[in-house]
Structure 1
Amino acid sequence: MSIDDALIEGKDGLYVNIHAQPGARKPALRGMHGDALKIAVAEAAQDGKANEAIVRFIADALNLSRADVDVASGHTSRRKRLFLHGDGSELRARLLLWMDG
C-alpha cells in the first residue's frame, strides 16, 4: 500500500486514514500500516485522550490549528479517519513533505 491509499481529497479538505498506537513512549509517525498512517502517542486510549493527542500531533506537524483537524470517524477504534480543513492538494503536499522529513 502507498501513502496515496491513506489520503482522500474531499470538499474543503483532506481525509487521512490513521492507525493509532496509544500508550507509546513518545509521539511519532511510524510509517504506513496497510492503507493508513501509523501514529504513536503516549496518551492512553481512554476518555478521548489518545484521539486528542493524535489531533494535536498532526496539527503541530502540518502547522495547522487544532480546530482544522477533526476525527471524522473511528473515535473508539485504532482505525480512524481524520479530516484536515483547507486546500486538499496543499495539505497533501505538506503531509508528504512531513513524511519524507
Structure 2
Amino acid sequence: MSAVSYINDEQQGDLLLFVYVQPKASRDQIIGLHGDELKIAITAPPIDGKANAYLSKYLAKACKVPKSQVHILKGEQGRHKQIKICHPKIIPAEIAALL
C-alpha cells in the first residue's frame, strides 16, 4: 500500500490518500510519511467531528478544490483515514513527492 495514489479517469485524475491525522497540533502542516501513511498535523481538536471538517477544509485549500470534492471514505472516528480528493487543481509538493 502506498500513502498516495493517483487515479486517472478520462478528464482528470483523483487523489487517494491514506492519512494518519495528528489533531490538536501546534500548526497545520503535511509532515510526511508515517509508516505507510501520510501524516498530517492539524490544530483542530478531535471533538464532534471538528477535526474531520477541518482536515477536509485544509486539504481542499491545499489542492484548490471546493470542500465538497474532499471525501473521507474510511476512518471517520479514528486517526487512520482514507481520503479521496476529486480532480485536484494542484497537488502540494509534499504529496507530489510521494506519487
TM-score, scaled relative to structure 1: 0.78
Shift of 1:11: 7.1
Cross-structure match for 2:83: 82
State the number of aligned residues: 92
Does residue 20 of structure 1 match 2:21? yes
How do 1:32-43 residues align onto structure 2 when only pairs under 5 Å count?
32-43=33-44
- Code of the aligned partner of 1:72: L
Percent identity between the aligned chains? 27
- 2:72/2:84 contact within 8 Å kept: yes
* Gap regions ≥5 residues in structure 2: none
Deviation at 1:10, TM superposition (A): 4.3
Give the structure with the larger helix fraction: 1
**Which amino acid letter does the alignment assign opposite residue 73 of structure 1?**
K
Runs of 4 or more, structure 1, over 3 Å off, are 9-12
**Alpha-carbon distance in 2 for matches of 1:26, 1:83:** 23
- Give the gaps of 5 or more residues in structure 1: none
Shift of 1:8: 2.8
Tell me the equivalent position of 2:93: 98
Structure 1 distance, partners of 2:74, 2:7, is 14
Matched residue, 1:58: 59
Give TM-score scaled by structure 2 length: 0.80
Q: CA RMSD in A?
A: 2.4
